[in-house]
Structure 1
Amino acid sequence: MNAQIAVRPRLSVAEQLADLAVEALIDEAELSPKPALVDRRGSGAHLDLSLELMHASACSLWSTFHAMAAAGQAAGQVDVALRETLGRLGRDGEAQMLAVTGGVNTHRGAIWALGLLVTAAAQVDRPAIGAVALRAARLACLKDRHVPARAPSNGERVRQRYGVGGARAEAQAGFPGALHHGLPQLQRSRAAGAGESHARLDALLAIMARLDDTCVLHRAGVEGLSCMQDGARAVLEAGGSASLAGRRRLKDLECHLLRLNASPGGAADLLAVTLFLDRLEPTLRAQIGSL
């Protein structure tokens, strides 16, 4: 009798990018202990969220990210038509997410950020994260003529009230929170011998220390933002989350944020972006090398 060997089909670039985006969202949700955010310990400052809901939401977005990456490949260039296709796909993905979560906004910001990045990554010939971020920024700067008229979101109201850029400006600038703060801290902590979970927590803290997080501003105003930024810097200055002094500062930071009902959701989205970009080059390099 002849033995039959099942050969697993090679994943397309679009499939790999969708996998990376969903994995980044799941890894961000699983990372613990994140201050005032959903993690394996509980729901943080979000009474309407749970780790299980975050998992379900992330998985529901695979088809959206796959469609966005495929659209980027098909277009081959950055233009208004592609931007408007992404807008439509993003709105469809948001509706799918809300259906899964019962109307709870779990990953609206991540759809925007990771959607731009998977689309950009599908177009680059060489897997350089700087080139991907720059192309994503070019896409973010284009206008979508088909955005439906609706009441301003919490983020839009915060931007108008406090004069901060928010998620849109972060994308249009090429995700500096991830490229200039999250990724370098992730690499520094790894080089210093921190375990992967501590390195990722330190990356989150580096983002929190500098980001004008609209989620925090919405919930707790300037007091909450100062609490987040100063507290995150204190953890890193004490030696990071892997040190005893850093863990004490991290616990203090969480207590203060919970007291203010402030959750750094914008920083969490940028941590997911950081984790996505961290894995992007080796994944695409392996894909190119196997062709």
Structure 2
Amino acid sequence: MRLSSQLASDTAYYTSASLSDEQLALWGKALGRLAHRAMMEEVLLTPKPGLVDRRNSGSHRDMDRHSFARSARAIADGLPEFVYLGYALGDMPASEVLSALREPGMVCERSMLRATDGVNTHKGAIFAFGLLCAAAGRLLARSAEVEAYTLCQEVADMCEGLVARELALVKEARTAGERFYLRYGFTGARGEAESGFATALNHGLPVYRESLHKGWSSERSLHQALLVLMAHNDDTNLVSRGGVEGLTYAKKQAQALLKDGGMTDSRAKERLAAMDDAFIAKNLSPGGSADLLAVVWFLAHLPKVISTEIISK
């Protein structure tokens, strides 16, 4: 079944494409698996400054890689629904789609919290991958190509005006995101989504692909991409924990290692481990960049998944 309960009959008239239920299910399952793998690749990458990995739990006392694994599995199981919903709403104006994604987003969030005994491990990832999967569904409904650029452009179209609606009109901050926008102008995850994940698409993804092209391992390439993301991203997770000073510190640490060649430095992993210790001491965690790293991995490996798990079937 493409969509649960009344949702299918309410929204089916919006789409004019003709994928069979089996074909659509294939896409949903493949993209859900890809997102799951992306989340696992991010958490298992070690060492990472202030983040959960195989070395430690970073600056997080309420989670570890095992709770991350449970969370990633629970979230991935709910992501096909975003593909199906995006497909059903393929002809709806992009600006009207976002509100329809809130319900499956809340379902995913509840699944995450059940899997982690109430700990928020992946709220940012739910937001990012929910948008990407819905965007894929909309592209399929229009028989458009599903690849990194078209996906991110579709996300940007769906999120157009999001910052203005949810941040720019706020006079008195009620949430951390609103407070950071009013005080510093940081747009956080909303701004990244409205830009079509520009930091991931324009910085992290090219570096990851170029590193792989050089013959680097996926692990080494991901480390390089993470440093680039940290150097460019106005990560509100860092601001939440350490203020603008914490964000500036984290950016400078990443930039310093990149200036020395990043992962070409013979002591790069030692320096990353030292950064990890320093971030933990300052209670800093670049969680926004971690979410974008998972997005980078997802976008980079999307073509292979389409060719091996969908087209070849």
- Fold conserved (TM > 0.5)? yes
1:116 aligned to 2:135?
A: no
CA 1:78/1:251 → structure 2, altered by over 3 Å: closer, same or farther? farther
Secondary structure of the residue that 1:46 maps to in structure 2? coil
Q: Give the Cα separation in 2 of the matches to 1:222 and 1:142.
A: 25
**Which one-letter code corresponds to 1:51 in the other structure?**
R
Moved more, 48-57 or 244-253: 244-253
Give the Å deviation of 1:222.
Answer: 1.4
1:241-289: per-residue Cα shift (whole Å, max 9, x none)? Answer: 3532433432342233222100000000000110111111222244563
Matches within 5 A, 1:24-173: 24-79=38-93, 81-124=96-139, 125-141=144-160, 152-173=174-195
Amino acid at match of 1:21: A
Between the aligned partners of 1:174 and 1:78, the Cα distance in structure 2 is 19
CA contact (8 A) 2:147 2:299 kept: no
1:101 to partner: Cα distance: 1.2
Work out the CA distance in 2 between the residues paired with 1:237 and 1:160: 33
Q: Where does structure 2 lack aligned partners over 5 or more consecutive residues?
A: 1-21, 167-172
Task: Please tell me the residue identity of whatever aligns with 2:284.
Answer: A
Aligned pairs, number? 277
CA contact (8 A) 2:47 2:269 kept: no
Q: CA deviation at 1:118?
A: 0.9
Q: Would the alpha carbon gap of residues 233 and 16 (structure 1) be closer, same or farther in structure 2, given more than 3 Å must change? A: same
What amino acid sits opposite 1:220 in the alignment? G
| 1:223 and 2:245 are equivalent in the alignment | yes
Question: 1:131-168 deviations in whole A, cap 9, x for unaligned?
Answer: 1100011112266xxx9xxx944333333332111000
218-227 or 241-250, larger mean C-alpha shift: 241-250
Amino acid at match of 2:90: G
Residue-by-residue CA offset, 1:51-84 (whole Å, 9 max, x unaligned): 0000001111123211111111122235355322
Cα deviation, 1:164-218, whole Å, max 9, x if unaligned, reads 1100010000101111111111122223332210100111111000100000000
Range that drifts further, 192-201 or 238-247: 238-247
Comparing 111-120 with 133-142, greater Cα deviation is found at 133-142
Cα offset, 1:31, TM superposition? 1.0
Write out per-residue CA displacement over residues 81-114 of structure 1, whole angstroms, 9 at most, x where no aligned residue.
Answer: 5322211110121122112212211111111111
Contact 2:50–2:286 under 8 Å retained in 1: yes
C-alpha contact (below 8 Å) 1:241/1:250 kept by paired residues: no
Distance 1:48 1:78 in 2: 41
Q: Distance in 2 between matches of 1:71 and 1:167?
A: 22
Contact 1:25 1:272 in 2 (8 A): yes
Q: Aligned residues: percent identity?
A: 37
Instruction: Determine if contact 1:209/1:232 at 8 Å carries over to the other structure.
Output: yes
CA distance in 1, matches of 2:77, 2:146: 22
- Determine the structure 1 residue equivalent to 2:266: 244
Within 5 A, what are the aligned runs for 1:252-267? 252-267=274-289
Matched, 1:192 2:214: yes
- 1-structure distance, mates of 2:311, 2:279: 46
Helix, strand or coil: the match of 1:123? helix
State which of 27, 34, 43 in structure 2 corresponds to 1:20: 34
In 2, the alpha carbon distance for the partners of 1:230 and 1:252 equals 14
Q: Which runs of 5+ in 1 are unaligned?
A: 1-8
SS of the residue 1:67 aligns to: helix
Partners of 2:84 and 2:134 within 8 A in 1: yes
TM-score (norm 1): 0.88
Q: How far, CA to CA, are the matches of 2:261 and 2:120 in structure 1?
A: 34
Q: Distance in 2 between matches of 1:109 and 1:216?
A: 14
1:182–1:274 CA contact under 8 A, matched in 2: yes
Bigger Cα displacement from structure 2, 276-285 vs 216-225: 276-285
